[in-house]
């Protein structure tokens, strides 16, 4: 009976009864990233799949040491273009499960360290 | 980057930034070019950035520069870790500017001043860093490359100004302009993210209601900071160490 009641409440009021209903756990909606509307990234897709980290690594060093802040190879540029929005229109963290960065990195088991320090949405977290 | 392109860009920028051109005599032109650099060129040693802090203007009890710095650089997004005491948090929380009082033991006169990374010409933090993470940029800023910082904190021990902070805990709320991470050392960057985007002021300077802070290029004799330094006696804190600091003070 109690289970039925909570189920009813959830359906009628849209009230999630368990934890984890924060906006970070919302799923991104297909087609809401800026990148979805473009043919290719800053380089052809097969190149980017294999070499994106070389570009980010290079940009990282020139930004920190030489103050060059072009956005075409910058991590904030990646986030800005590839981040998706949820149904409510809020940005979903790019390293959230299933999102752009996490999807491949989880599959290949390659640790993603960028976002222990860097922001995962364009306007910061 | 080829030289001709660079020159053309500078000329263009000079026009775009509204550079002042004055004709003093026929055939003789004085031209000053804004030192702000475009986003896609590397910094050079042409400029050396620094500050002059007029301690006579620095009001007792005013904390505006510290608050502005914390907001600009995301330090206000950090909170006390669970289980830490207030005392512990007060000692360990990252601070880029502190207001300190200097007391003359002979006369008892107390001078209040904001103390931050002094951006030394010969920075001890860079000397001691075992990984090269502490480095000096061509324009004189002493910075930390947190990608190579291993968190050993030698630089914190070496700094005579106690200017550096260590991040002890994971970062929950991250900032796009000023990223930071657990296990790395950081300190005042003279708002490098602003400079790189063409900015010419720092957050603390903008916030100071008494105009006690003047920021600019020490190598340019026409910059506000150089003019202010030419007018009055200035000192470097701990000038006995011969570090040639970029941040100077008056009336200390």
Res A30: pLDDT: 87
Across A44-58, A85-99, B4-18, B115-129, least confident range: B4-18
For residues A45 and B107, give the distance between their C-alpha atoms in angstroms, rounded to a whole number: 71
Reported as a single tens digit per residue, the pLDDT across B151-197 is 999 999 999 999 999 999 999 999 999 999 999 999 999 999 999 99
Res B189: pLDDT: 97
* Antiparallel, parallel or unpaired: β B110-115 and B98-103: antiparallel
Which residues of chain B are within 8 Å of residue A118 when distances are taken between CB atoms? 174, 176, 179
Mean pLDDT of chain B: 88
Q: Are A124 and B145 within 8 A, CB to CB? A: no
pLDDT above 70 for B18: no
Q: What is the mean pLDDT of residues A118-122?
A: 94
How sure is the predictor about A71, in pLDDT bands with cuts at 50, 70 and 90?
confident
Beta strand spans in B88-236 (E): 98-103, 110-115, 134-136, 142-144, 165-166, 185-186, 213-217
Which residues of chain B are within 8 Å of residue A119 when distances are taken between CB atoms? 174-176, 179
Q: Which residue has the higher pLDDT, B196 or A124?
A: B196
Q: Which residue has the higher pLDDT, B140 or B32?
A: B140
B18 is written with which tokens? 């509204």
Q: CB contact, 8 Å: A58 with chain B?
A: no
Would you say the ipTM is above 0.85? no
- DSSP 3-state of B241: helix
Res A26: pLDDT: 75
pLDDT above 60 for B26: no
Res B78: pLDDT: 93
Chain A residue with minimum CA distance to B144:
A64
For residues B47 and A122, give the distance between their C-alpha atoms in angstroms, rounded to a whole number: 31
Q: Are A76 and B180 within 8 A, CB to CB? A: no
pLDDT above 80 for B38: no
pLDDT above 50 for A116: yes
DSSP characters over A66-111: H----STT-HHHHHHHH--B-TTSPBPPTTSTTSHHHHHHHHHT--
pLDDT above 60 for B74: yes
Interface size between A and B, measured as CB pairs under 8 A: 66
| Contact predicate B35/B129, CB 8 Å | no
Reported as a single tens digit per residue, the pLDDT across B210-248 is 999 999 999 999 999 999 999 999 999 999 999 999 999
For residues A66 and A57, give the distance between their C-alpha atoms in angstroms, rounded to a whole number: 14
| Contact predicate A85/A78, CB 8 Å | no
Q: State chain A's maximal CA–CA distance in angstroms.
A: 66
B63 is written with which tokens? 């904390």
Which residues of chain B are within 8 Å of residue A69 when distances are taken between CB atoms? 39-40, 193, 196-197
Of B143, B145, B174, the CB nearest to A119: B174
Q: Which residue has the higher pLDDT, B161 or A123?
A: B161
Domain limits, CATH 3.30.70.20, in chain B: 41-250
For residues A72 and A59, give the distance between their C-alpha atoms in angstroms, rounded to a whole number: 9
| Contact predicate B249/B237, CB 8 Å | yes
Res B212: pLDDT: 95
Which residues on chain B place their C-beta less than 8 Å from a C-beta of chain A?
37, 39-43, 74, 135, 137-139, 143, 145-147, 170-176, 179-182, 184, 192-193, 195-197
How sure is the predictor about A125, in pLDDT bands with cuts at 50, 70 and 90?
low
Q: Are A69 and B139 within 8 A, CB to CB? A: no
Q: Are B147 and A65 within 8 A, CB to CB? A: no
pLDDT above 80 for A11: no
Q: CB contact, 8 Å: A22 with chain B?
A: no
For residues A112 and A63, give the distance between their C-alpha atoms in angstroms, rounded to a whole number: 20
Q: What percent of chain A has pLDDT over 70?
A: 78
Res B149: pLDDT: 97
Query: What does pTM read for this prediction?
Result: 0.80
Which residues of chain B are within 8 Å of residue A65 when distances are taken between CB atoms? 135, 137, 145
Res B35: pLDDT: 54
Tracing tokens 């200017």 back to the chain, one arrives at B163
Res A5: pLDDT: 42
Q: What is the mean pLDDT of residues B45-56?
A: 95
pLDDT above 70 for B20: no
How sure is the predictor about B40, in pLDDT bands with cuts at 50, 70 and 90?
confident
Mean pLDDT of chain A: 82
* Antiparallel, parallel or unpaired: β B247-250 and B110-115: unpaired
Domain locations along chain A: 23-116
Burial class (CB in 10 A: 0-12, 13-18, 19+), B112: middle
Res B27: pLDDT: 52
How sure is the predictor about B130, in pLDDT bands with cuts at 50, 70 and 90?
very high
Q: How far is A6 from chain B (nearest CA, A)?
A: 32
| Contact predicate B94/B166, CB 8 Å | yes
Which residues of chain A are within 8 Å of residue B138 when distances are taken between CB atoms? 66
pLDDT above 80 for A15: no
Nearest residue to A118 via CA among A66, A67, A70, A83: A83
* Antiparallel, parallel or unpaired: β B49-54 and B247-250: parallel
Reported as a single tens digit per residue, the pLDDT across A35-48 is 999 988 999 999 99
User: First vs last Cα of chain A: how many Å apart?
Assistant: 40
Q: How far is B113 from chain A (nearest CA, A)?
A: 29
B96 is written with which tokens? 């880029």
For residues A27 and B100, give the distance between their C-alpha atoms in angstroms, rounded to a whole number: 49
| Contact predicate A16/A62, CB 8 Å | no
For residues A97 and A101, give the distance between their C-alpha atoms in angstroms, rounded to a whole number: 9
| Contact predicate B146/B180, CB 8 Å | yes
Res B252: pLDDT: 86
Res B25: pLDDT: 54
Q: CB contact, 8 Å: A60 with chain B?
A: yes
Looking at domain B41-250, its CATH class is alpha beta
Res A1: pLDDT: 42
């Amino acid at each position: 009976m109690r289970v039925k009641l909570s189920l009813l409440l959830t359906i009628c009021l849209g009230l999630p009864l368990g934890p984890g209903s924060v906006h970070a756990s919302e799923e991104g909606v297909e087609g809401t990233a800026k990148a979805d509307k473009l043919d290719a990234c800053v380089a052809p897709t097969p190149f980017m799949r294999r070499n994106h980290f070389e570009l980010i690594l290079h940009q990282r060093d020139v930004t920190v040491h030489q103050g060059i802040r072009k956005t075409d190879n910058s991590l904030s540029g990646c986030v800005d273009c590839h981040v998706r929005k949820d149904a409510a229109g809020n940005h979903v963290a790019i390293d959230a499960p299933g999102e752009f960065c996490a999807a491949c990195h989880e599959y290949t088991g390659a640790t993603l360290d960028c976002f222990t320090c860097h922001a995962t949405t364009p306007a910061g977290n | 980057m080829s030289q001709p392109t660079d020159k053309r860009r500078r000329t263009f920028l000079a026009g775009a930034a509204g550079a002042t051109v004055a004709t003093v005599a026929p055939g003789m032109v004085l031209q000053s070019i804004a030192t702000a650099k475009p986003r896609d060129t590397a910094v050079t040693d042409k400029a050396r950035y620094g500050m002059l802090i007029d301690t006579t203007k620095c009001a007792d009890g005013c904390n505006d520069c510290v608050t502005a710095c914390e907001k600009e650089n995301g330090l206000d997004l950090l909170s006390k870790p669970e289980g830490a005491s207030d005392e512990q948090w007060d000692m360990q929380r990252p601070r880029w500017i502190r207001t300190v009082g200097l007391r003359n033991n002979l006369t008892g006169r107390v001078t209040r001043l904001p103390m931050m990374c002094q951006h030394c010409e010969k920075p001890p933090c860079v000397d001691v860093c075992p990984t090269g993470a502490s480095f000096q940029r061509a324009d004189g800023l002493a910075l930390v490359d947190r990608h190579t910082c291993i968190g050993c904190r030698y630089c914190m021990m070496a700094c005579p100004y106690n200017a550096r902070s260590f991040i002890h805990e994971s970062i929950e709320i991250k900032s796009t302009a000023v990223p930071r991470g657990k296990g790395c050392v950081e300190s005042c960057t003279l708002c490098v993210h602003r400079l790189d985007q063409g900015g010419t002021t720092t957050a603390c300077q903008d916030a100071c209601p008494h105009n006690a802070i003047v920021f600019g290029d020490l190598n340019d004799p026409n910059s506000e900071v150089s003019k202010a330094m030419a007018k009055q006696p200035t000192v470097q804190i701990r000038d006995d160490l011969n570090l040639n600091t970029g941040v100077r003070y008056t009336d200390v």
